Amino acid sequence: MSNYECSLQGIVIGQAQKEKFMQRLVGLCGNDSMVDLFEHELVFIPSTQTPVGPARNDDVVLRLQSKIHNEKEYSMKYRQWFLCLQGNPEPQRARTVTVRPISRVQLSGDIFRFMKSLGYSFAFDVVRKGYLLAYDKVLKITVTQLYKVNRTGYYFNGLGFNFFPPVQKNQGGISSAYCTGRDLDH
């Protein structure tokens, strides 16, 4: 069975616009549906890349994703990691959203050794901070701001969701909303 991700991306300018947007989502999903979301994603590329040309698009990028729920999970060794493969977006045929297939599998053990054994090397990592809402227990909606980690350093200062010191906010206040039909358990 395939899961599909439908994504909308946009810019929310100012706190008032953000609050109005979140109020509408909470109104649709219900008062008990919103929780804080903090997710760390490591991006890996093939160690041996295809030479520049048309076949280069066949290189598959793999992502390791982990949600951070508590202080213990600030350390990478206590996190639950998921290997995520995002397929190519489907043709647009009058759609207002981007739709693409996704596959996720839970991992355990040394994730870096596993990725190296697959022939992949670390490229960069990002952090998503925002909110997760559930609509009718079928649809998962995330509203997040994307942050790029400036250097490789996996330590946290324990200030709730406002920590991650080597992070640079994307310019322009870009937020994204993802709606996925995946399991709501992870």
What's the confidence (pLDDT) of residue 2?
Answer: 67
Does residue 46 have a pLDDT over 80? Answer: yes
Q: Residue 150: CA atoms inside 13 Å, Cβ hemisphere, count? A: 7
Using the predicted structure, report yes or no on whether residue 179 has a pLDDT greater than 60.
no
Mean residue pLDDT of the chain comes to 77
User: Domain ranges in the chain?
Assistant: 3-180
pLDDT tens digits, one per residue of 91-139: 777 777 888 888 999 998 889 999 999 999 999 888 888 998 888 877 8
Superfamily designation of domain 3-180: Hypothetical Protein Pfu-838710-001 (2.40.320.10)
Question: Where in the chain does DSSP place strands (E)?
Answer: 3-11, 34-46, 62-67, 81-86, 98-107, 120-135, 139-149, 167-169, 174-180
pLDDT of residue 55: 66
Model confidence band, residue 27 (pLDDT cutoffs 50, 70, 90): very high
Alpha helices in 124-177 (DSSP H): none
